[in-house]
Structure 1
Amino acid sequence: MLNAADETLARRLPEGVLREVAEGYLEEPRGRWRGIAGLVAAPRDVEECAAVIRACAEARVAVVPRGGGTGLVGGQVMPGGPAPLVLSLERMLAIRDVLPEEDVMIAEAGVTLQAARDAAAAAGRQFPLSLASQGTAQIGGVLSTNAGGVNVLRYGNARALCLGIEAVLPQGQVMRDLKRLRKDNTGYDLRDLLIGAEGTLGVITAASLVLAPIPAERGVAMLVVDSPDAALHLLARAKARMAGGVTAFELISGQGLRFLRQAMPDLRQPFADCPDWLVLIEIGLPEGLSAAAALEGLFVAGSEAGLVSDGVVAQSAREVDDLWSLREHIPLANRQIGAIASHDISLPLSEVAGFIRDAGAWLAAQGDMRINCFGHLGDGNLHFNLFPAEGRSRADYDDQRAGLSHHIHRMVVARGGSFSAEHGVGRLKARDLAEWGDPVRLAAMRAIKQALDPAGIMNPGAVLA
């Protein structure tokens, strides 16, 4: 039975927008929380979305925006309080325009990242944002969380790939700012304010996205390095030799490969033994240059400098896919093993090796556990995940979990890093932000929230605790 607020919403909204709450709208991938909700609203266009927000503002009903539901910090579910309305963008599926001569695409918020990439490819371009969840993650969600992925080193994160947005603000006003301009100095950039706000300042309904040429030559190699420090020196050499051609530079630990062998024994690996550390590098070069030759040259230079001890350079599209498949399956293997705690962190590049060393030493003193450290080394983003020792279960560490994560985040902040690199703050890290965020910055954020959303209806409890 609907409560009075839900009945008011039902009377005010266009027919077909509201629906009953199905279980999938209340879930998040890691199962940390189960959300609550009174109803789900699935508008078909920006005007219906604005009508939903206006009705919720007038009835003082909280709104939890939801994209593909792939976020890992609980921003898409509200586990307590008065039941909110879940606002799903799943029916806003139009790619309104593709302009290859401008390198621009205009896509609605419910378009999946994969659909956007496919539309760009059909026009002879690429939308270079790439995530493991791109078949499900939606454009509105990746912008609202300022998602990163494997290609940030060359193309930037979601914010860098957006020229303009259309959005509904917390009192139902529609901001129509779908610019296709690279230069527009006309006051405060509200686009950048809403990108990364995780639905707390409004709902992104469409965006002008940046496309890029598809490199004529693509090359991928997996190289064995002695340490994270050696990997960083190799990254510097690669960037100098390739002159902007390095697309991705991923750090992989031997523990990650061992987890793959345990969880997915049929997945082919290029080395008989599991080296302690590897890097996966992808480059994209202009026509007339051989990507394979460039990577072979990097291997030789790295070997002569004592940075690289072994490696493979992909010689076919199949080998490219096989090498990337190893990297992309690491999170899936992690899920099968079962982590004690996972950390999405970023550090200045010069601090990465020291952090890995010191954090490993500190954790060794806390008890027997395994560390799988991997991630986007090119932009300083690590996934630093802790697992039970062999023969032990996650439950054995329940009384340690919160303390371990808190100390890891403290070590990251002390080195000038961030405890939230690419997954956002959501509800999981709101207390961390309150503890370690700059007080003046936090005060300004709260003032902005109060100015735009005085009733506090937009995704309450996310970002700002």
Structure 2
Amino acid sequence: MKLNPAVPAFVDHLRRQLPPSCFREAAPHYLEEPRGRWSGQAGVVLAPATVEDVATAIRAAFTAGVGVVPYGGGTGLVGGQILPEGPAPVLLSLERMRAIRGVYPQENVMVAEAGTILSDIHDAAAAVDRLFPLSIAAKGSARIGGNLATNAGGVNVLRYGNARDLCLGLEAVLPNGEIWHGLKRLRKDNTGYDLKNLLIGSEGTLGVITAAALKLFPRPAGEGTALIVVPGPGAALDLLALARNHLGEGVSAFELMHRTGLDFLAETLPDLRQPFDAPPDWFVLIDVGLARGLDPAAALEDLFADAVQAGLVSDGMIAQSEAQRHQFWEVREQIPEANRRVGSISSHDISVPMGAIPEFIRRGGEVIARLGDFRVNCFGHLGDGNLHYNVFPPKGQSRDSYLDLREAIKRAVHDLVHRMGGSVSAEHGIGRLKVDDLERYGDPVKMSAMRAIKAALDPKRIMNPGAVLRQPAD
């Protein structure tokens, strides 16, 4: 079914149905995405304060056949939060729905509305001596509804899982405007199909998440962080296995980084304190959280000693204070910003089986070298097989001179990932950027099932049109 634009008559209808406070000017930030590849459009921008107002807006859009683009914090990297072409949609921002409806420390549960900023959820959990472990670089502006809609990953997946693993229940508005009251705090609920996990990761194409029941965890009594130099990715994998043998589930994060990341930090953020006098080719950041009575620094020292004996490490440093832990993490968390300032030709959020990571990095370098003289910054969450494999122009040159090679580079990297049994979207989602990739690499049976689900729940295809699944020409 062909969509209609949000014309003035439709907007006037909304104004009769919704409070004036729901309406926003189409400010530039609603129509931009972080990588600057597209500019969006909107016939009207709405910011409802209640789930009932969300339902009213979507019901009106469904009746009129007008597209709806859900908008969280605008931090997504695959263009899922904007609509660059086609009939002008309703842009539905969750920014006003930011109440924390309840915190239940005995249950280790928090109920928060979808517009709640991730760092505010962290603070609310800390206020009752609990932890909400989802953590990403954009935690100060990303909103939990968007985190769930994209099944966000981040640095703590190794221990706690993706956003999907941290959610017990949802409240959501479906494409026909009905409210699904699935906001349960239950850890066991086998009552038919799992609509919650269908909506999580659907990127707003099957409905709008308006609130969530989130899992909390006891805060580790002691935390420790180390930066450790390794000979290469293979040794890093062996070190991860050794760390888990030593510390079990106490390993919270295990991040692999390359010298190129340090070079980019020195080039673009010279005031950031570098951890090494002589930058190593490969190094890892290990973060641990241990129970009361255990000393994280001592545990990391024991791990380092055994790793030296096994020939897995050559140097390292263990944080001696909370300030130094922050400095170590600042190195990892500022690498994406350094990448942005340098300007990548093509960026790839990929995953392969963990044991295949060393081979992928080796073969990836060979593939890129055949295409030209490029710099590769490969870093990421080694503990869950997720790498950010980004290709940059030679030093001193601009990516603008190489944009004609972007598609060839992306295709070469993604073909290799696919041949090695990996995924071309590990944690960022499909959005609009990777619709072609999903069609090219997706299992045909899965694609058919996805289209059937979309048709059943959203027969008019109003929800985030063109994201994840291509919008039909008719």
TM-score (norm 2): 0.97
Cα deviation, 1:409-464, whole Å, max 9, x if unaligned, reads 11101111101011100000011001110111111000000000001100000001
Q: Matched residue of 1:221: which SS?
A: strand
Whichever residue aligns with residue 247 of structure 2, its letter is: M
1:89 to 81, 89, 94: 94
Question: Deviations for 1:196-243, whole angstroms, at most 9, x for unmatched residues?
Answer: 000000000000000001101101000000000110010011111101
Following the alignment from structure 1 to structure 2, what is the Cα–Cα distance between the partners of residues 16 and 55?
18
1:120-147 CA-to-partner distances (Å, cap 9, x unmatched) read 0001101110011011000100000000
Distance (whole Å) between structure 1 residues aligned to residue 397 and residue 268 of structure 2: 16
| TM superposition shift of 1:14 | 3.4
- Number of residue pairs aligned between Structure 1 and Structure 2: 465
CA distance in 1, matches of 2:311, 2:393: 34
3-state SS of paired residue (1:279) = strand
Counterpart among 421, 426, 429 of residue 416 in structure 1:
421
Residue 169 of structure 1 corresponds to 174
Q: Partner amino acid for 2:403?
A: D
1:2 offset after TM fit, Å? 5.0
1:241 paired to 2:249: no
Query: What is the one-letter code of the residue matched to 1:363?
Result: I
Which of 450, 459, 470 is the matching residue for 1:454?
459
Kept after mapping to 1: 8 A contact 2:350/2:426:
yes
1:23 paired with 2:28, answer yes
In structure 2, the residue matched to 1:267 is 272
1:391 Cα offset (Å): 2.6
Question: For residues 94 and 396 of structure 2, what CA distance do their matches in structure 1 show?
Answer: 44
Alignment-derived partner of residue 201 in structure 1: 206
2:3 aligned partner:
none
| Structure 1 consecutive aligned stretches of length 4 or more whose deviation exceeds 4 Å | none
Q: Report the equivalent of 2:375.
A: 370
How far the C-alpha of 1:374 sits from its partner, in A, is 0.4
Deviation at 1:406, TM superposition (A): 1.1
Paired AA for residue 396 in structure 1: S
| C-alpha distance in 2 between matches for 1:87 and 1:381 | 31
Counterparts of 1:45-444 in structure 2, within 5 Å, are 45-444=50-449
For the residues of structure 1 that align with 2:25 and 2:465, how far apart are their CA atoms?
Answer: 21
- 2:332, 2:438 → 1: CA distance? 30
**Amino acid aligned to 2:61:** C
SS across alignment from 1:249: strand
* % identity of equivalent residues: 60
CA deviations 1:89-146 (Å, max 9, x no partner) are 0000110000000000000000000000100000110111001101100010000000
> In 2, distance between residues paired with 1:2 and 1:166?
29
Tell me the CA shift for residue 164 of structure 1.
Answer: 0.2
2:44 to 34, 39, 48: 39
Please, which moves more after superposition, 132-141 or 394-403?
Answer: 394-403
Q: Cα RMSD between the aligned structures? A: 1.0
Q: Distance in 2 between matches of 1:166 and 1:391?
A: 50
In 1, Cα distance between equivalents of 2:46 and 2:276: 51
Asked if the contact 1:73–1:424 (Cα under 8 Å) also holds between the matched residues in 2, the reply is yes
SS of residue paired to 1:308: coil
* Contact kept? 1:163, 1:179, Cα under 8 Å: yes
Matched-pair contact (CA < 8 Å) for 2:367–2:413: no
The one-letter amino acid paired with 1:52 is A
Contact 1:238 1:246 in 2 (8 A): yes
| 2:129 partner letter | G
Deviations 1:142-175 (A, max 9, x none): 0000000000000001000000000000000000
Q: Once the 2 structures are TM-superposed, how far is the Cα of residue 8 of structure 1 from its aligned partner?
A: 2.8
Question: Does 2:15 correspond to 1:5?
Answer: no
> How many Å apart are 1:261 and its aligned residue?
1.1
Amino acid at match of 1:452: L
Unaligned residue ranges in structure 2 (runs of 5+)? 1-5
- Which sections of structure 1, spanning at least 5 residues, go unmatched? none
**C-alpha contact (below 8 Å) 1:13/1:55 kept by paired residues:** no
